[in-house]
Chain A
Amino acid sequence: MSNRVVLAKVLVGVVILLLLFGAVNMVSILQKVINPVLGPLGVIPVSGSMNIDILVPYLEGDVIVKYDNTGIPYIEASSPKDLYLVFGFIQAKDRLFQMDLMRRYALGRLSELFGPDFIETDKHFKVIGLHRAAGESYNAIVSNSSFKDLLTYMLAYTEGVNLFIEYAKERHALPPEYYLLGAEPEPWTPVDSLAIGRLISWGLAGGTQDLQLLSFLEANGYEALLELDLLNASLNLPILSSFSVSSKVLAHTSYAAPPNTLDSLKELIRVFEENEMLIRRITGLAMSNNWVVSGKITDTGYPLLANDPHLSLQAPPVWYEAELIFKGRTTVFGVTFPGIPFIIIGRNTHVAWGFTNVGADVLDFYYYKWNGERYLYNGMWLEPKRVHEDINVNNNGVLETIPFTVNITVHGPLYEYKGIKYAMQWTGHLPTLELVAFYYYNFAEDIYDMINGARYFSVPAQNLVAADDKGNILYYPAGLYPIRGNRPVITIGDIEIPNMGFLPFNGSAGEGEWISFIPFEDIPHAINPEEGFVATANNRLVPSDYPYYLGWRWADRYRYERIASLIQETLAEKGRISIEDMMHIQRDIHSLSADYLLPMMLQLVNRASLTEDAVQALNLLSGWDREMNSGQVAPSIYVAWLYNLHRGLWGDEAEKAGVGVGLIPMETTEYYLRMAIDNSLPISYTRWIGGDIRILLANALNEAINQLKSEFGDDVDNWRWGNVLRYRIKHPVGDILSWLNYPEYDGQGGLYTVCVAGFNPEKMPYIVGGASSIRYIANLQPAGENSLWGYIVLPGGNSGNPFNKHYYDQLETWVNRGYYEIIMVGSLSELQDFDYMLVFRGGG
């Protein structure tokens, strides 16, 4: 071989190698993710017989964890402190990236990871101040010696999370998302856990509803309060038929709208809601169902309880399942938000509980008179308190700090946008103690322990249902409900409506001051009600004669009414309710909204204005059984038609106000259809319709058919509901790395069915954003008599690691409305069927 050839070969080899080194960055990230020797695959224990020993010197004794064949960890310890330490480790092992992401949302620290696109979102959350509130709650726990045990467990949990972070870092076995983003998790703190709780609470607080209502009224007239039935919600049904307290009467003044232009208000609402999009991806519909049935009417003689919270569908799921076995004391099973040490929804050996969102009005907005940087309050010019909340931004690997200041008035943080300023007063800004409540719930022995715990539950106000194995059932919508003073009055004709809190207040004039909160005993509640059951589905709590103001925006009644009627029908038919009946109710996809609205729509629609395809669609709808199952075409036509009608009725007004048409409840559409059927629509109300409702119906149906054709073609079989409604569940970075997303499935149910599917009806296909984030049923037969504790299912899997077989192993069962049996054991030795075991050895 000549020297030239040799040199050429060597040069080629070296040059190519050097070029490869240029690619080293990408390779290093990639191979950390998929390295089969180390990397995330390395923390996936093999199944069956392999045990992993982890020495933790500061454990008092050994803690054993067994994972069952759905990826649920069963953690057993003699010392609660040890158990919570290991719970922290296990949660981090399975969901660390999700925990980190949630705390970053709450703390306003997304830009540190994801760059400048998230600066505005971070500023938004810095203003709202979830981290400040969480810090104050933590101080309240630390400073109260009666919470010493709770604090110990919080600190132990924090220790466990940090132990996992170090363990994983040493083994290059952090969750793959960190390597893909080139990041590392920071140590966990107890305030982070509280901040995650606050984040969820904020997502359930209603956002800018009051401002949206103001914008709507300013754009369209305050008569809307009455004529669109926005406050009375006269078709809504209450959870409790009555509840008596002594009435309170408070003084009032005249209402004056804030001195903003409508356009500037619309802009503020738009920006606020845009920055809320990420939290909406967690809290989804912010709705839920739950019901509890007394042993008086069950087949076992003991209570049954069901809960399915309607949060978002995401990969991994919002909830994390676990069973905590406190040796010699109790076993607690259920779900929690990753990052929180206690079970949020679930049961222990004696008590089961569940929640739905009340939808209470606990967030008020205040405007002021300003003089430069000072605002008028109580006759004095005051400077807002200024808090420096700098924001760190990742600019292509370089961390830059942007200075940011939050201004806080006497009412709360000031939300400012282009000269418009509103202070926000929210119950979540107080140093509240929800973790204390959950601590009580986890160790409760009967519903009276639950009531004691509920006294600490402040935000978000939740419809708590509970039952115990002594046969008691409970409904208590615990929370802080502000009582406002000096409420200005809106005068419409000769009707006076006090602003109870549903519109912004003039802070300078002292309007809407929070005087106190509804006393705990005066909150509507029921213990062992005569009817034998209580159901809640975000509907109103009590009739309008209840003297305190709880809120104004309730969920349409259809889910609640369907649950209550199914319970009553079952009792009428069988005399008793079984756990299978509870499942049947929870799985129900019958559209009660269609039962009410469709006959009216079919009767009223002007058929002469319909296209030929629309006429055929009418025939299909007339024969429909109102089941929203994936195989039928009628649901697609009905939903598109209904939404087009709703938008046709209120869309112009909503657009004028810069709000979504969803501000107007579907019950308002029903209200108008009823009046049209009865020919009882007042002349003054007709201006809202903007034409003949019959023609509006025809146009809405024609448009629905065109939309379906345009999206799915002329073949009507392609319009089946499962093709139009899709479960497309994504990971937070799933738009970039699609392999992190779950498989796609046909959807079923709808916005108003018990087995709910929440979606944006503006765009087809309808992608389900919110649905049952768990379906859970508990059987309260006492241990010993009982071999069936209940059922549960997640819309995904318990592991957040995409290389783990439990990443979405429950998803298909959930889609098919199936369940897994809850296994509760008093000791891990009873759990023979498990995947693998971890042993944490204490140092003694």
Chain B
Amino acid sequence: MRRIIIRVSNLVAGMFILLATLNIYLSGYEVIIGAFLAGLIASYREEKASISICMAIASVLLFYLVMTAYYYLLNPYGVMVMFKTGPLLYVPIVVSIIAAFCGGLIGSVLYPRLKTGSP
């Protein structure tokens, strides 16, 4: 149970990191940095690389799901148009998934070392 709570918290934290970085400035960098950080946060204290990466990607997908749902409530028409934009929509999502993957991968290396204190 505790593990589940930690994982959910990590997912949500990762999601908010991405939200925060996207609000700072609109360039391509913050999507990559934000998703990387989200992946890093979401994979906190995971030791297995596969779970680490899954958590990282899941946090980014959770972000897009929540934002899409929120904006669908506000402007359903605009959001449906977004889905027609093809690569305009998919490329940032794919890029952020890959960035999150990197965050999860590095997290899976980093956290066990922080835990054990080994160099």
Please give, as numbers and ranges, the residues of chain B lying within 8 Å of A16 by CB-CB distance: 98, 101-102
A33–B74 CA distance with the chains assembled, in angstroms: 17
List residues of chain A with CB within 8 A of the CB of B103.
13
Q: List 21 A-B contacts (CB under 8 A).
A: A9-B105, A9-B106, A10-B105, A10-B106, A13-B101, A14-B102, A16-B102, A20-B102, A27-B31, A30-B92, A31-B26, A34-B88, A35-B22, A36-B70, A39-B26, A44-B78, A46-B74, A46-B75, A739-B86, A804-B77, A805-B75
Q: Is the CB of B28 within 8 A of A24?
A: yes
Nearest chain B residue, comparing its CB with the CB of A38: B26
A28 touches B106 (CB 8 A): no
Q: Is B58 an interface residue (CB 8 A)?
A: no
B95 within 8 A of A: yes
A32 CB–B CB distance under 8 Å: yes
Query: Is A34 a contact partner of B85 (Cβ separation < 8 A)?
Result: yes
B39 to chain A, nearest CB (A): 9
Let me know if A31 and B19 touch, CB within 8 A: no
| With known contacts A803-B75, A805-B77, A28–B27 Cβ distance under 8 A | yes
Q: How far is the CB of A495 from the nearest CB of chain B, in Å?
A: 62
Question: Could you say which of A10, A24, A33 contacts B27, with CB atoms under 8 Å apart?
Answer: A24
CA distance A766 to B95 in the complex (A): 42
**B65-80 toward A: CB 8 Å interface, digit per residue (1/0)?**
0011011001101110
Most buried by A among B70, B75, B89: B75
Question: Is there an interface contact between A33 and B26, defined as CB atoms closer than 8 Å?
Answer: no
Given contacts A41-B71, A739-B81, A803-B77, contact A23 B95 (CB under 8 A): yes
Q: How far is the CA of A14 from the CA of B105 in the complex (A)?
A: 10
Besides A16-B98, A39-B26, 9 new A-B residue pairs in contact (Cβ under 8 A), listed by A number: A1-B112, A9-B108, A14-B102, A17-B99, A27-B32, A27-B91, A33-B88, A36-B70, A803-B75
* Residue pair B85, A41 in contact (C-beta under 8 Å): no
B26 touches A44 (CB 8 A): no
Tell me the bound Cα distance from A44 to B76 in angstroms: 11
Task: Assess the B26–A172 pair: CB atoms within 8 A.
Answer: yes
CA–CA, A507 to B65, complex, Å? 71
Check if B106 sits within 8 Å of A20, measured CB to CB. Answer: no
Check B102–A804 contact: CB distance below 8 A: no
A25 interface contact, C-beta 8 A? yes
A-chain residues with CB within 8 Å of residue B31 when the two chains form the complex: 27, 31
Nearest CB on B from A389, distance (A): 36
- B49: Cβ under 8 A from any A Cβ: yes
Interface contact A33-B106, CB-CB below 8 Å: no
Nearest residue (CB) in B for A32 is B26
- The reply to whether the CB of A21 lies closer than 8 angstroms to some CB of chain B is yes
What are the interface flags for B92-114 relative to A under an 8 Å C-beta threshold, 1 for contact and 0 otherwise?
Answer: 10010011011101101100110
A84 to B19, CA, bound (A): 39
Which residue in B28, B49, B68, B86 is a CB contact (below 8 Å) of A9? B49
Q: Does A142 sit at the interface, judged by CB under 8 A? A: no
Residues A417-476 near B (CB distance < 8 A): none
Q: Are B91 and A28 in contact (CB under 8 A)?
A: no
- Known contacts: A30-B92, A31-B92. The answer to whether A20 contacts B32 by CB under 8 A is yes
In the bound complex, how far is the Cα of B30 from the Cα of A38, in angstroms?
14
- Rounded to whole Å, the gap between the CB of A37 and the closest CB of chain B is 6
Interface: B44 (CB within 8 A):
no
- State how many angstroms separate the Cβ of B110 from the closest Cβ of chain A: 9
Across the interface, which residues of A come within 8 angstroms of B26, CB to CB?
28, 31-32, 35, 38-39, 172
A190 within 8 Å of B by Cβ?
A: no
Contacts of A31 in B (CB 8 A): 22, 26, 28, 31, 92
Name the contact of B88 in the complex, choosing from A9, A17, A30, A46 (C-beta under 8 A). Answer: A30
- CB contacts (< 8 Å) of A32 on chain B: these are 26
CB within 8 A of B23: which of A13, A37, A737? A37
The interface size of chain B toward A, counting residues with CB under 8 Å, comes to 42
Is B115 at the interface (CB under 8 A from chain A)?
no
A802 within 8 A of B: yes
Determine the distance from Cα of A30 to Cα of B36 in the docked complex, in whole angstroms: 19
B102-A803 in contact (CB<8A): no
Residues of A within 8 A of B99 (CB): 17, 20
Q: Interface residues of A toward B: which range?
A: 35 or more
Q: From residue A11, how far is it (CB to closest CB) to chain B in Å?
A: 10
Contact among A9, A21, A739 for B32, CB-based, below 8 A? A21
In the complex, what distance in Å separates the CA atom of A172 from the CA atom of B30? 15
The A-contacting residues of B in range 7-25, CB under 8 angstroms, are: 19, 22-23
Asked if A13 and B28 sit within 8 Å, CB to CB, the answer is no
A683 within 8 A of B: no
B51 within 8 A of A: no
Q: Does residue A250 face the partner (Cβ distance < 8 Å to B)?
A: no
CB-CB under 8 A from B2, the residues of chain A are none
Counting CB contacts under 8 A, is A12 at the interface?
Answer: yes
Q: Is the CB of B81 within 8 A of A802?
A: yes
| Chain B residues with CB under 8 A of A608 | none
Q: Check if A44 sits within 8 Å of B95, measured CB to CB.
A: no
Report Cα–Cα, A23/B26, bound state, in Å. 15
B84 within 8 A of A: yes
> 6 closest Cβ contacts across the A-B interface?
A28-B28, A24-B28, A27-B28, A803-B78, A805-B77, A13-B102
B62 within 8 A of A: no
Give Cα distance in the complex from A172 to B24, angstroms.
11
Q: Determine how close the nearest CB of chain A comes to the CB of B49; give it in whole angstroms.
A: 7
Interface string of A36-53 (1 = CB under 8 A from B): 111101001010000000
A120 to B68, CA, bound (A): 44
B22 lies within 8 A of A33 (CB): no
Residues of chain A within 8 A of B6, CB atoms compared:
none
Q: Which residues of the other chain, B, contact A572 by a CB distance below 8 angstroms?
A: none
> Does A249 make an interface contact (CB < 8 A)?
no
Also in contact, A36 and B92, with CB within 8 A (given A9-B49, A17-B102, A23-B28): no
Which residues of the other chain, A, contact B70 by a CB distance below 8 angstroms?
36
Cβ–Cβ < 8 Å partners of A34 in chain B = 82, 85, 88-89, 92
Provide the residues of chain A in CB contact with B77, threshold 8 Å: 803-805
With the chains together, A34 CA to B32 CA distance in Å?
Answer: 16
> Is A6 part of the contact surface with B, judged by Cβ < 8 Å?
yes
- Bound together, the chains give a CA A172 to CA B108 distance in angstroms of 36
Complex Cα–Cα for A28 and B32 (A): 10
Q: Across the interface, do B23 and A27 meet the contact criterion of CB distance under 8 Å?
A: no
Give bound CA distance, A11 to B19, whole Å.
27
Structural contact, B67 and A36, CB atoms closer than 8 A? yes
Cross-chain contact of A1 among B105, B106, B109 (Cβ < 8 A) = B109
- Shortest CB distance A13–B (Å): 4
Give the shortest distance, in Å, between B22 (CB) and chain A (any CB).
6
Q: Please, how many angstroms separate the alpha-carbon atoms of A611 and B102 in the complex?
A: 70
Shortest distance between the CB of A729 and any CB in chain B (Å):
16
Alpha-carbon separation in the docked complex, A32 to B22 (Å):
10
Contacts A41-B71, A803-B75 given; indicate if A9 touches B109 (C-beta within 8 A): yes
Asked if A251 is an interface residue, CB under 8 A from chain B, the answer is no
Contact between B78 and A804, CB atoms less than 8 A apart: yes
Q: A23-B28, A31-B26, A36-B71 are in contact. Are A12 and B105 (CB under 8 A)?
A: yes
Contact of B75 among A29, A33, A44 (CB under 8 A): A44
Min CB gap B26→A, angstroms = 5
* Chain B neighbourhood of A398, CB < 8 A: none
Contact across chains for A38 and B23 when beta carbons are under 8 A apart: yes
In the complex, what residues of A have CB within 8 A of residue B36's CB?
Answer: 17
- Residue from the list A10, A30, A807 in contact with B91, Cβ < 8 A: A30
Shortest distance from the beta carbon of A740 to any chain B beta carbon, whole Å = 9
Known: A27-B95, A32-B26, A37-B67. A13 touches B106 (CB 8 A): yes
Minimum C-beta distance from A52 to chain B (A): 14
The residue from A24, A739, A803 contacting B29, defined by CB atoms under 8 A apart: A24
Q: How many angstroms between the C-alpha atoms of A739 and B67 in the bound complex?
A: 22
Tell me, in angstroms, the Cα distance from A9 to B108 when the chains sit together. 9
Query: Which residue on B lies nearest to A27, using beta carbons?
Result: B28
Q: Which residues of B contact A13 (CB under 8 A)?
A: 101-103, 105-106
